[in-house]
Structure formats: C-alpha cells, structure tokens
C-alpha cells in the first residue's frame, strides 16, 4: 500500500489554483493585445466579446492577482515573524552549489545528484522570478490604467516605460510557465503525465525520498539536526 505525506495545505492549494486561473486569463486577454496584428489574436479577442470586454477582464484579473500576491506575501511574513516558518523557499548559497552539483552529476563528474530539502533550487528560482514578476506586472499595470493621474506626480516617461515592461514581462512569464514550469510539473519523466501533488496536497513517500529526502528525514526524525546529519553525507560524494 502506497504511503502518502501531506505536502501542501488547503490554503496553499487554493492559492495555486487561483493564481493558475488568473494567470491563464491574463495571458489569453493580454497577449492578443501585444500581438494585435495576428489572426489568432483577433480570434481570441472575438472569443471574449471584443477588445473592451477583453480589457475589462484583463484588468479585473490583474487586480485579483495583485490581491492574491499581497495576501501570499502577508501570510509568509506573518509565519516568519511568529516563528511558524523559517522561510524554506528563500534562496541560499547552497542552492547555487546544488545547481553546480547537478550539472556535474549530468556530466558524470559525481556519483549522485544533490539532496534537496522542502524546495530544490529550480523551484526556488522559479518561485522568486514569478513573485517579482507579479509585483512588476501589477505596478506597471496600475501605471497603464491611470496614466494621466500618475503623470501629475511622476515623470511622464514612466508611462511608455511601464508599457514596454508590462508587455515584455508578460511574454517572459508566459514562456517561463509554458516551457519551464509545465515541463517540471507534467512532462518530467519522474511525474509524467501530471504531478497532482499541488492539487491534492499529498505526495507519495517514495517520491519524497527521491525528490526531498532532507525534508522527509526531518519529518520522520525526532530531532531536525539528527535527521540532517544522517542524510546529508551522500551530498558530499564527488
């Protein structure tokens, strides 16, 4: 019988699902405005009922994404302040060492890859890239919604700069999600055809042992320090 470990709470799963839906709608209503001369862009805009309605949906989703991002950040800060979390998603020097170690493993210069805790370096890099991207998209989006108002207090050059940043960051976020995230979550041989963990909140113990052995050892050991010492030794194998 397969053993499972609870990896994500109901709130975390709800945040992911909400962000996924909002991001999809933002891409479907935003990218056609960037590539407005293309036939597929016209078809998508028509599907949403015209450019005015597409823009209305885009702005509503943008405000919603800003609210979700602010809520997520507030919950993370509160957890750290209340000492309920040590912010495991924070990037450390060890993550860069893990990236190098992974390359060496792929090149046959190591006998095994690095061992990961709750999040590996790829997940951390992607998370922070998207979080910073969300903040940039929301701020530039506000400038584009209220250009005349903000121009009273800020340089007018900010408006065209915000337009370029918003457009290009949106395209980059779309490419990161469709190429990097979709591969790791669905096309990676370890999880193909789909990783349901973020939707169910559960992950099999075998997968935890393979992908996040440091976290599993900590969860199953009475002392965190002892668990880290037992499983970290193979990490040093060259």
As given in the structure block, the two tokens for residue 70 are 């602010």
Length of the chain: 238
**Alpha-carbon span 103 to 85, nearest angstrom:** 30
Q: For residue 138, which of 196, 32, 146, 106 has the smallest C-alpha distance?
A: 146
Is 104 within the bounds of a domain? no
Residue numbers of the domain that contains 65? 4-87+121-211
pLDDT at 237 over 60: no
Q: What's the whole-model pTM score? A: 0.83
The string of pLDDT tens digits covering residues 96-108 is 999 999 999 989 9
The residue that leads in pLDDT, 148 or 225, is 148
Q: Would you say residue 58 lies in a domain?
A: yes
Q: Is the pLDDT of residue 234 over 50?
A: no
Q: What is the pLDDT of residues 73-97, one digit of tens each?
A: 999 999 888 888 788 899 999 999 9
- Which SS3 state, helix, strand or coil, does residue 5 take? strand
CATH of the domain at 176: 1.20.950.20
Phi then psi dihedrals of residue 35, to 5 deg: -110, 55
Can you give the pLDDT at residue 35? 94
pLDDT, mean of residues 199-203: 91
Identify whether 68 is part of a domain. yes
Residue 101 domain flag: no
The mean pLDDT of the chain is 88
> pLDDT exceeding 90 applies to what percent of the chain?
58
The vertex-185 CA angle with 165 and 125, nearest 5°, equals 45
pLDDT band of 223, cuts 50, 70, 90: low
* Cross-strand partners of 6: 202
For 2-45, the pLDDT digits (tens) are: 788 888 999 999 999 999 999 999 999 999 999 999 999 999 99
Please say if the pLDDT value at position 194 is more than 70: yes
Nearest to 48 by CA among 69, 29, 75, 72: 29
Residue 227, pLDDT > 60, answer no
Overall domain count for the chain: 1
Would you place residue 112 in the very low, low, confident or very high pLDDT band (cuts 50, 70, 90)? confident
Residue 15, domain member (yes or no): yes
In a domain, 92, yes or no: no
160 located within any domain: yes
Contact between 76 and 67 (Cβ < 8 Å): no
- Is the model more confident about 237 or about 222? 222
Query: Does residue 200 fall inside a structural domain?
Result: yes
């Amino acid at each position: 019988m397969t053993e499972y470990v609870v990896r994500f709470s109901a709130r975390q799963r709800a945040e992911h699902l909400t962000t996924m839906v909002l991001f999809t709608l933002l891409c479907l209503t935003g990218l056609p405005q960037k590539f407005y001369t293309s036939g597929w862009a016209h078809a998508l805009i028509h599907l949403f009922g015209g450019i005015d309605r597409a823009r209305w949906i885009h702005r509503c989703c943008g405000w919603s994404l800003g609210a979700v991002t602010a809520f997520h950040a507030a919950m993370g800060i509160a957890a750290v302040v209340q000492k309920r979390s040590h912010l495991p998603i924070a990037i450390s020097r060890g993550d860069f060492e893990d990236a190098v170690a992974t390359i060496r493993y792929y090149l046959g210069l190591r006998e095994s890859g690095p061992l990961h805790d709750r999040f590996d370096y790829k997940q951390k890099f992607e998370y922070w890239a998207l979080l910073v991207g969300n903040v940039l998209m929301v701020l530039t989006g506000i400038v584009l919604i209220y250009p005349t108002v903000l121009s009273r207090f800020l340089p007018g050059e900010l408006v065209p700069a915000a337009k370029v940043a918003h457009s290009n960051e949106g395209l980059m976020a779309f490419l990161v999600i469709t190429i990097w995230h979709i591969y790791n979550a669905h096309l990676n041989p370890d999880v193909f055809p789909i990783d349901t963990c973020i939707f169910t909140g559960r992950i099999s113990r075998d997968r935890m042992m393979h992908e996040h052995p440091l976290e599993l050892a900590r969860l199953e050991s009475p002392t965190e320090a002892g668990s880290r010492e037992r499983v970290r030794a193979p990490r040093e194998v060259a």
